[in-house]
Amino acid sequence: MKFFLDTADVEEVREAVAWGLLDGVTTNPSLVAKTGKTFREVLCDIAEAVPGPVSAEVTATDMAGMLDQAHEYADLASNIVIKIPLIVEGLKTVKKLSEEGIKTNVTLCFSSTQALLAAKAGATYVSPFVGRLDDIGHEGIELIREIRTIFDNYDFGTQILVASARGPIHVRDVAIIGADVVTLPFKVFEMLAKHPLTDSGLEKFLDDWKKVPQDKKPEGGA
């Protein structure tokens, strides 16, 4: 499974890239607004920092406006993916962009039938939001299972990009189902590597190591 970082903070991106485990980045207007920078500045900085795809979300809600923004963003860097909302105008836009060879990420997906339409339109990625469904009493994980089955039934090439994952359990569950990508805030990305038994085990090993007699370095040796 691929790991994307859900952020507009280029320093978080650089840190995650340094781990050697980051495959891409997703952004949205809410995240960019926190940076105090222009959307163009943020996209260019992140696209330069990460070798993988960077999702840039349009703000227009009509096809003409979405296409204008899509072409503008796609021209900024070769790894920009256009993020389109899952509405009818968005699906029409995705179909057009896919015909032009521009990669797309269809966002705000909350049902398997929406995901089916995105795949038929030629989306590169579709982003179902598991955490937001959990928030209103629905099983977000079940949505991923439904989409995986539908896509496999018809051999769609669209990748399932799980969004709104709130913690390691979400990541574990969608990995078991076979999601292609999960996008995470940096704090959740960090949590994946942590376990209290790892910390306590390492502490014990290091304490015990202090009790082991150490070889003396030869005098005058190199």
Q: What are the catalytic residues?
A: 83
Residue in the block written with tokens 């809410």: 30
Closest CA to 31 of 50, 19, 17, 13: 13
Helices (H), strands (E): how many in the chain? 11, 8
Contact 144, 164 (CB under 8 A): no
**Encoding tokens for residue 132?**
């937001």
Cα–Cα distance for residue pair 78/66, rounded to 1 Å: 18
The backbone region for 171, taken as left when phi is positive above 0, alpha when psi lies in -120 to 50, beta otherwise, is alpha
With residues binned 3-state (H G I as helix, E B as strand, rest as coil), the percentages for the chain, rounded to 5, are: 50, 15, 30
First-to-last CA distance in the chain? 47
DSSP state of 212: S
DSSP state of 163: B
Q: What residues have CB less than 8 Å from 22, skipping those under 6 apart?
A: 3, 4, 5, 13, 16, 50, 52
